Amino acid sequence: MFVNGQWVPSRSGATFPTTDPSTGRVIAEVPRGDGADVDAAVRAAADVAVEWQFTDAIARAALLRNLAKLVGDNVEELARIEALDSGHYLAKAQELVSAIPLWLEYWAGAADKVGGRTIAVPGNKLSFTLLEPLGVTAHIIPWNYPLLILARSIAPALALGNTCVVKPAEDTSLSALKFAELVSAAGFPDGVFNVVTGYGSEAGAALAAHPEVRGITFTGSTETGREIARLGGQHIAQINLELGGKSPLVVFPDASLDDAVEVAVQGFCSRAGQVCVAGSRLFLHDDIADEFLEKLVARLASATVGDPFDENTTMGPLVSAKQFDRVRQYIEIGKQEATLLYGGDEVAGVDDGGYFVGPTVFVDVPKDARIAREEIFGPVTAVMRWSSTDELIETINDSEFGLFAVLWCRDITSALDTAKRLQVGSVLINDWFGELPMTPHGGHKQSGVGREEGLEAVHGYTQTKHIGINLDRSPSASTDWAGAPL
């Protein structure tokens, strides 16, 4: 693990295995951190928090730019680690790692440009606010996009003067450790960035509950998010949560069907469906549904599921045996609730020990079916037909989730009207989700609180301090004391 600028084992000496999801074979043993390790990392971060807060923003920005360059110089190694440990196929892993410098550069640019405001108040007074860092921030990272989500949360935290303790997912710890090596090489002071590996129930829970952690960022399941909120709430930490989703992808009768089919495939098959914004509810207008499904089946037939390091692969394995079993269970549930149109069988031609599930499409799905309401987190989509826009919106909003939606529609008036009525954090029209550092991302309802990315993320990593100055020579000159002094 990486604590206070040093590479250290867990204090107990315990380790746990991390596996290659395409074969099920062990790659390496990783330190199994617990509360003692978390405490050491948090204390290291707390010891340098004030020094880092008052480091010039320009200097913090320069270090982030150094880190961006080092990530760019190490794309191939980072991508191979990500592909091996998480199951991203290599070409996709290379794309994702190549994008990470965008986040680091964006927040380097913002470091010396965000600030407070002046406030017009009665009398001869000066009133203004300062934006100050929270202090020690905890970053609990999911396994689906391990390095990208790590970077998107630590970049604003560091730029705005916080120190960081990262707990990567136990299934995908390796890229975070390589990233720590690059942070050190970039010149960040010891203690500003720390990585503690371990299980969520041990290291993750201890980090969320630590009283010196002033801010917590978590991306993952709603169930775990609730527990993190509870633990952080015990010491009133500021909490950002990006949680589950059951995102609708709506195809209108005037849509370009070929484009919409491609978006639908990306929507539920990208990262083997292990995406919070996955388009796992597919709403097809009655007028185009049959034609669309014919095109969808033809497109899915060209998908290649297999070894992440095979250049022909377009979809890798699920991340773990646990996730494989979960998705297969939902497929069996779907067979009882709806009609299986495509997939649902074992994938041929892959390693028997790997966690592979092919694209799976269900039609004739009742809106109250489990596969239509629960997050599966695999390459499975539930198709529902619609004709009335009002009923469509009512069905979409009748969900505990509210993260993301896609509308495919040429009539921009209809699209905008629908977008405004959806209870979600983001809506894309005639496009598919491409995460960017300058646009806010987050959910409503059980899909989370707060926003990652964009200038809206500033509020997740800062606190506001108000300062007021009476510019008159004597306080008695003030006329607005509301009866004071006592």
CB atoms within 10 A of CB 134: 22
Using CA atoms, how far apart are residues 300 and 287, in angstroms rounded to an integer? 22
Closest by CA to 194, choosing from 49, 335, 312, is 49
Q: What is the CATH number of the domain that holds 226?
A: 3.40.605.10
One domain, residues 156 and 302: no
Q: Which residues contact 87 (CB under 8 A, 6 or more apart)?
A: 21, 22, 272, 308, 316, 317, 318, 319, 355
Q: Side by side, which strands form the sheet with 404-408?
A: 339-342, 360-363, 380-386, 281-285, 248-251, 404-408, 426-429
| Cα angle value 432/437/439 (rounded, 5°) | 60
Region label for 121, one of left (φ > 0), alpha (ψ between -120 and 50) or beta (otherwise): beta
Q: Cβ(162)–Cβ(43) under 8 Å? A: no
One domain, residues 268 and 406: yes
Predicted pLDDT of residue 403? 97
One domain, residues 320 and 367: yes
One domain, residues 256 and 195: no
Q: Is there a catalytic annotation at residue 242?
A: yes
Q: What is the pTM of this model?
A: 0.95
One domain, residues 234 and 266: no
One domain, residues 158 and 279: no
Give the CA count within 13 Å in the CB-facing half-sphere of 430: 11
- C-alpha R_g of the chain: 24
One domain, residues 45 and 192: yes
Q: Cβ(86)–Cβ(252) under 8 Å? A: no
Predicted pLDDT of residue 435? 85
Q: pLDDT below 70 — which residues of the chain?
A: 475-486
| Cα angle value 351/352/355 (rounded, 5°) | 85
Predicted pLDDT of residue 477? 53
One domain, residues 218 and 160: yes
Using CA atoms, how far apart are residues 459 and 115, in angstroms rounded to an integer? 11
The helix (run of H) or strand (run of E) holding residue 73 is helix 57-73
- Angstrom CA distances, 404 to 36, 152, 176, 408, stand at 38, 18, 27, 14
One domain, residues 389 and 323: yes
Residue 232 lies in a domain: yes
Q: b/e for 295-323, b at 16 or more Cβ within 10 A?
A: bbeebbeeeebbbbeeeebbbbbbbbeeb
The helix (run of H) or strand (run of E) holding residue 284 is strand 281-285
Q: Which domain holds residue 420?
A: 248-429
Q: Cβ(420)–Cβ(462) under 8 Å? A: no
Q: How many helices (H) and strands (E) does the chain have?
A: 15, 22
Q: What is the CATH number of the domain that holds 396?
A: 3.40.309.10
Predicted pLDDT of residue 433? 75
Using CA atoms, how far apart are residues 280 and 375, in angstroms rounded to an integer? 8
Q: Cβ(259)–Cβ(299) under 8 Å? A: no
Number of domains in the chain: 2
In the chain, the amino acid numbered 328 is: R
| Given the residues 82, 105, 170, 242, the one annotated as active site | 242
